[in-house]
A and B are shown apart, each in its own frame.
Chain A
Amino acid sequence: EIVLTQSPDFRSVTPKEKVTITCRASQSIGSSLHWYQQKPDQSPKLLIKYASQSISGVPSRFSGSGSGTDFTLTINSLETEDAATYYCHQSYNLPITFGQGTRLEIK
């Protein structure tokens, strides 16, 4: 099973700040890495797929990069509505696995 480890687990940030969340895979997964945002009592929302592919309707301040084992989700100029938990997810092989999540709090 591929283990995904996100860092940090939690971060408190201010609006307009730039935030970087990392996801490290226990083995190489190519670009089969996707990012989700989940707000309380909502289902996950796809932000980025295949490491860096943008998703229609997602604000351009969200971007992704990386390949192999190390991946990054960047949020430029954070907005208050970005308070949420963020998850990475690998689809390289089964079982599909998720990172443990990174909770962003907006000060």
Chain B
Amino acid sequence: EVQLVESGGDLVKPGGSLRLSCAASGFTFNDAWMDWVRQAPGKGLEWVGRIKSKTDGGTTDYAAPVKGRFTISRDDSKNTLYLQMNSLKGEDTAVYYCFTERDGSGIYYPGYWGQGTLVTVSS
């Protein structure tokens, strides 16, 4: 069974930092392309960024609002995706989801999503 389990969400002050994790199981993580998406309270879905597999270069791409503040990384030995968030702002308050853009078999959008973790930025 495929599982994506996010963790690390918390209440943090403006200007602070936080690292989210997404633990993957049930598929070949090291060949997967993984994304982060967020959803502010009562709002729609917003793409945050993605990381390709190391075999595809391991490159990262980010949405404009987070570029330069957020960093996506992966530890394939732990089947875990990370989102390092620095210089946090109130508008970063959201539920953060990880999802699989391409699985280890090369199938795009297999439908793997985590349950989300809440980040609240407030003083």
**Do the beta carbons of B44 and A91 come within 8 Å of each other?**
no
**Do the beta carbons of A96 and B116 come within 8 Å of each other?**
no
Interface range for B: 10 to 19
Contacts of B44 in A (CB 8 A): 87, 98-101
**Do the beta carbons of B35 and A55 come within 8 Å of each other?**
no
- Chain A interface residue count, CB cutoff 8 Å, equals 22
Complex CA–CA separation, A44 to B98 (angstroms): 11
A43-B97, A43-B113, A44-B97 given as contacts; is B108 within 8 A of A91 (CB)? Answer: yes
Q: Is the interface of A mostly helix, strand, loop or mixed?
A: loop
A95-B64, A96-B35 given as contacts; is B47 within 8 A of A55 (CB)? Answer: no
Of A44, A91, A94, A99, the residue contacting B113 (CB under 8 A) is A44
Contacts of A34 in B (CB 8 A): 109
A7 within 8 A of B: no
Known: A46-B111, A89-B45. 13 other contacts (CB 8 A): A38-B45, A44-B99, A49-B108, A49-B111, A91-B101, A91-B109, A95-B47, A95-B63, A96-B35, A96-B50, A97-B47, A98-B44, A101-B44
